[in-house]
Every structure is written in C-alpha cells, then in structure tokens.
Amino acid sequence: MIELATPTRASLESRELNAYYGDHHALADVTLAFRPLAVTALIGPSGCGKTTFLRTLNRIHEIASGARVTGQVLLDEENVYDPSVDPIALRRRVGMVFQRPNPFPTLSIADNVSSGLTKLRGEKRQEAVERALRAVGLWDEVSDRLRSSPLALSGGQQQRLCMARALAVEPEVLLMDEPTSALDPISSANIEELIRRLSDRYTIVIVTHNMQQAARVSDFTAFMLADESGSGRLIESNETNQIFFHPQDRRTEDYISGRFG
Amino acid sequence: MKSYRSRRIADAVGVTWSFLCAFLAAAVLLIILGYIVVKGAAAINWQFLTQLPHPVGIEGGGVANGIVGSIITVGIAVLIASPIGIMTGLYLALFSRGGFASTVRFLSDVLSGIPSITIGLFAYALLVAPFKHFSALSASFAFAVLMLPLLVRTSEEAIRSVPRAILEGALALGMTTFRSTLRIVLPVAWPSIVTGLLLAIARVAGETAPLLFTAFGSPFWELNPTNPMAVLSLQVFTYAISPYRSQNVQSWGAALLLVVAVLALNLLARVLLRTRIRAAP
C-alpha cells in the first residue's frame, strides 16, 4: 500500500443540525458523532435527507440558492458553520465523491487528479498524482495515458479517478454520496473494496440506498427517515451489526426487513 | 358532427398551406442569395479584392480597404465586447436568482431591441462629436454595444448547460467559486460560447446604419483606428446610391463578399456546435 497522508483522527459530529431548501425543512435535529477512521453508512428510503445531511458536512449544501443550515457540525471540536470558518479550507479537509462520476471533461486524467492541488509544482505534483492514482488502484490502468481525456475511461474507472482527485488533496474525512449507484456490479465491488481499504486512513461517511452495501462496507450505520412533514430525521445509529440484527426502533426493523422503502 | 371526409380535406388544406408558407420563406432567402450572386459575381475578380477604390468615374478599382476595415472594426468590437459579455453571462449563470441579475438580464434584452442606428447615434455623441473627428474606434464601440446582449445571452445559456455536478465537483475540492468556474466550467462551455461569438460577429458584420456617422468611410488605406475608415457594408451603401453604373456593380460585389463571410461564420458556428454535441458524454 502506497503511503498517503498519515492517518489523523479528525472527529466529526453534528449537533441539532437542521437544513432547509427555501421553505422546505429537509433535515431536522440530526445529532450524530462519526467514529474516526471508520466507515459510517447513512441509509434510509428516498427523500429521508441522507444526501442533504452528507452535503451539510462539507457545506456544499449551501451553494444551492435558498439553502440554509442551523445547528452545528463539529470538526475537531470546531463548528464549521462558525462565520470565521472558510468553507474552502473546510472542503480541503472534508473531501467528497458524488453519485455519478464527474471527472472534469476538459482536463486530462493527470490534471483531473491534480486539479485540487494548489501549492505543489513540478515533480512533487506528479508524485502526488501517482500516489493518489495508486491509492485507488488506477495507476496501472492509466499510467500510459495520463495526458488523455478521462471521458474515455469506463464508469468505474471514472469514479475511481474522482476518488483519486478527492484523495490527492489529502483530506481527513471522505464523504461519498451513493458512489456506486451509477456503476455496474463489478465496478461497484471494486469501489466497495477500495472503501474498506481506505477506512484505516480516513473517516468515511457513505450514503447508500443499498442495504447490502451498507452491511458490507460500513462499521457503523445510521438509519434516517422522513417524518410526516417531509423532514429527514435520524432514527437510530449503532454498529452496523447491531442495526441489522438487533435494531432498537420498530421503524428501523421494518426498513431493514424490507417492509417499506 | 363533421364527416371524416371533410376533416381530411381541412387537414390537407392546412398542411398544404403551411408547406407553401415554409416554401415561400425559404424561397425568399434563396432568391435574395441567388440575385446577389448573379449581380455580384460579375464584379468580383482579383483586382476587386486587392485594390483601393478608384476615383469616382474611373472604371476598375476594388474594395480591399473595406475588407481590411471590416476586419479591424469588427475585431476591435470583439475585443471590447467579448470579455464583458462572457463575464456577464457567467455572472448571470451563477447568480441567477438575485434581483441584480434579473435587472441585468432585463436591461440586456432591452439593449438587444434598440435599433442599431440609435446605438450609432450614441457612439457619435460619445466618441465622435467631442473630438470632432470620425473614427473606426467609434464604429467598433457601436458594434460592441450591438454584440453585447447577444454574447450575454449565449454565454449564460452555454455556462448554464454545463452539468451542475461539474461545478460541485470543483467546489468540493476546495476551489473557490471563481476558480471553479474559470478553470473547470468555462472550458466545458467554451465551444458554445465561441459559437455565440461567431453568430454575434455575423450579426454586426453587415451593420451599416451605425457606421454612417462613426467610421464614415474612406477612399484610402487606413489602418489607424482613430481615423475614418472604409468598411465593406458602408461601401455597399455608398456605391449603391452612386449615380455611376460601375460603382453600382461594385456595390453588388461588396454585398456578395459580406453574404459569403456571414454564411461562412454561420457554417463554422454549426460545425463547432456539432462537435460540441458529439463530445458531450
């Protein structure tokens, strides 16, 4: 395994977090502490606010017009919604991988990986690109065409490229929004294996609508559900085994056993 | 209840009528193009493309200074209008909801409806009258104002059509909004923006009214944009109303050159747009 950033035990938690899109109260009173250097899965039916919750953690939620947040997200005890916090600096510590692979179409494969690197130049920059590509197991597949377009890669390769791009910045937390939902089963399995491997270096939060995936990749699982007014709430969170085999809440049990959603 | 037969007849009449209208519209364009080609081709030869106009009444001569003048005036207009137009489009695409953005969009629409001669008059009042001197620069200014609303609209559309996920991907890496847009989003939108620019050039290249009291025209080689300058579209106008038959023929020739240039720009824009569509995932 190629050395990436030294693992840091960044603590991440939300307290009484509420998120809104205009008048819509999308997320209500979510308080959840993520275990450092572990994978936490956010599960729940469509519209339960899991993606919104994920997007509040790196403050990408707020770029939508009419979007706002109340409550706190604490990264190493510091509220990221404090006016003194620069969202740019925050997003360099909290990386994100999206639902569909979104490589930058006009940049080469190498430039995609290095696009978030502002300080490194020359050889150091190339090393960072190689390191990130090796970390996602893509180096051997693309090392001979680093200068070509990422659009020629398969969907799974593109998604790993996007992961490499996020890792190159050396974040401490990695947020993943249904990262395999647009991929075929084999590519999905690759990504899941990668997530497992990365979990000893990063605090990972993954949104998934696939319960088997949550069971396979996560150490902890948080179950969310929308209330009558459509606001997403955290129902229950625990070690993944506990959630799947001994859910405490009736609604969690119903969801896990496939009774709805 | 109407019979099936009478409905069929009404339908056939409607379809035929709309076909005839479409045919007429296409025919008008083809007739104009054909007429210009027939009339203008006679004037076009090497001399016409490379020589200065001859003094009135003397046969021969060309519109070389007008060709160069068109390129200079339109070129300067592009330099003025494209940074402003593209950045405005970018602003509108990114901050679409604000009151200021909708005001800008409205003003831009109003501007696109203002007659070109009015804009020429404005350029005259601003850049000609105070200096008591006609200039190509004042014409470029008028052209730039005419191009601006077109550029704003096409750039906004082009940038808006870039998938949001691409901007979010850049922001999530800790890039600033400005850097994300300039480095990541703008290059994706670039072919569409250039297409819009080409169409805007095609649109102003044939403008004549604002030139009457800005570029004014010149019988000489003039490369200095602070002086009066010959422009192709202006030559079409002055030669057309000239009492000399030889100049009337040259007017058709100059018109043909303009039509060919505009056609070429339109074709280029289409080709660009097609490659863009093919490149999109």
Report the number of distinct structural domains present in chain A.
1
B152-162 residue pLDDT tens: 999 999 999 99
β-sheet bridge partners, residue A225: A233
Q: Do B173 and A66 make contact, defined as CB atoms within 8 angstroms?
A: no
According to DSSP H, which parts of A70-121 are helical? 87-93, 109-114
Phi-psi region of A77 (alpha: psi -120 to 50; beta: other; left: phi over 0): left
Is B68 in contact with B223 (CB distance < 8 Å)?
Answer: yes
β-sheet bridge partners, residue A72: A15
pLDDT at A2: 47
Block residue for tokens 């609209």:
B153
Question: Is residue A92 in a domain?
Answer: yes
Question: Is residue A166 in a domain?
Answer: no
Write the burial class of residue A206 (CB in 10 Å: 0-12 exposed, 13-18 middle, 19+ buried): buried
Q: Which two tokens stand for residue B45?
A: 């030869």
Write the single-letter amino acid at B45.
N
Question: Is residue A242 in a domain?
Answer: yes
Q: Which of B219, B227, B255, B51 is nearest to B140 (CA)?
A: B227
Q: Which two tokens stand for residue B174?
A: 């800790």
Question: Could you give the angle at the alpha carbon of A122 between the alpha carbons of A119 and A128, nearest 5°?
Answer: 65
Range of A214's domain? 12-104+172-256
Question: Is residue A24 in a domain?
Answer: yes
What is the DSSP secondary structure assignment for residue A147, as one 8-state letter?
T
Q: Do B174 and A169 make contact, defined as CB atoms within 8 angstroms?
A: yes
The closest CB to that of B174, out of A66, A91, A98, belongs to: A91
Count of beta carbons in the 10 Å neighbourhood of residue B151? 26
pLDDT at A205: 96
A30-43 residue pLDDT tens: 999 999 999 999 99
Go through the domains of chain B in sequence order and give each one's CATH number: 61-279 (1.10.3720.10)
Local structure of A78: helix, strand or coil:
strand
The closest CB to that of B168, out of A98, A165, A166, belongs to: A98
Question: Is residue A87 in a domain?
Answer: yes
**Which residues have CB under 8 Å from B126's CB, separation 6+?**
B138, B141
Write the burial class of residue A36 (CB in 10 Å: 0-12 exposed, 13-18 middle, 19+ buried): middle
The answer to whether the Cα torsion of A198, A199, A204, A209 is positive or negative is positive
Which residue of B92, B97, B168, B173 to mutate against A (max A Cβ within 10 Å)?
A: B173
pLDDT band of B281, cuts 50, 70, 90: very low
Is A42 in contact with A222 (CB distance < 8 Å)?
Answer: yes
Q: Do A102 and B174 make contact, defined as CB atoms within 8 angstroms?
A: no
Helices B64-94, B245-279: inter-axial angle, 10-degree rounding: 30
How far is Cα B61 from Cα B45, in angstroms, rounded to an integer? 10
Question: Is residue A181 in a domain?
Answer: yes
A141-150, B40-49, B117-126, B269-278: which has the minimum mean pLDDT?
Answer: B269-278
Which CATH number characterizes residue A188's domain? Answer: 3.40.50.300
Q: Which two tokens stand for residue A230?
A: 């459509």
Q: Which residues of A have a CB under 8 Å from any CB of B? A: 58, 60, 63, 65-66, 88-92, 95-96, 98, 100, 102-107, 115-116, 151, 162, 165-166, 169
pLDDT means over runs of 10, chain A (261 residues):
57 93 93 94 93 95 88 93 94 95 94 90 90 93 93 93 94 94 91 92 93 94 93 94 93 86 52
Please indicate if any CB of chain A lies within 8 Å of the CB of B187.
yes
Indicate whether this complex's ipTM tops 0.95. Answer: no
Numbers of helices and strands, H then E, in chain A: 10, 10
The upper half-sphere exposure of residue A159, i.e. CA atoms within 13 Å in the direction of its Cβ, equals 24
Phi, psi of A66 (to 5 degrees): 85, 0
| Model confidence at B4: pLDDT above 70 | yes
pLDDT at A6: 57
The answer to whether the Cα torsion of B47, B48, B50, B56 is positive or negative is positive
Question: Is residue A139 in a domain?
Answer: no
The upper half-sphere exposure of residue A71, i.e. CA atoms within 13 Å in the direction of its Cβ, equals 20
B64-93 residue pLDDT tens: 999 999 999 999 999 999 999 999 999 998
Q: Which two tokens stand for residue A100?
A: 């569909």
In terms of residues, how long is chain B? 281
How far is Cα B38 from Cα B32, in angstroms, rounded to an integer? 10
Cα B192 to the chain's mean position, in Å?
15
Write the single-letter amino acid at B140.
S
The answer to whether the Cα torsion of B244, B246, B250, B252 is positive or negative is positive
In angstroms, how far is the first alpha carbon of chain A from the final one? 39
Mean pLDDT within B146-157: 95
Block residue for tokens 């660009």:
B272
Q: Do B183 and A98 make contact, defined as CB atoms within 8 angstroms?
A: no
Q: Which of A223, A220, A244 is nearest to A235 (CA)?
A: A223
**Which residues have CB under 8 Å from B152's CB, separation 6+?**
B85, B88, B89, B92, B104, B105, B108
pTM (two decimals): 0.80
Question: Is residue A222 in a domain?
Answer: yes
B26-53 residue pLDDT tens: 999 899 999 999 999 988 999 989 999 9
pLDDT at A1: 41
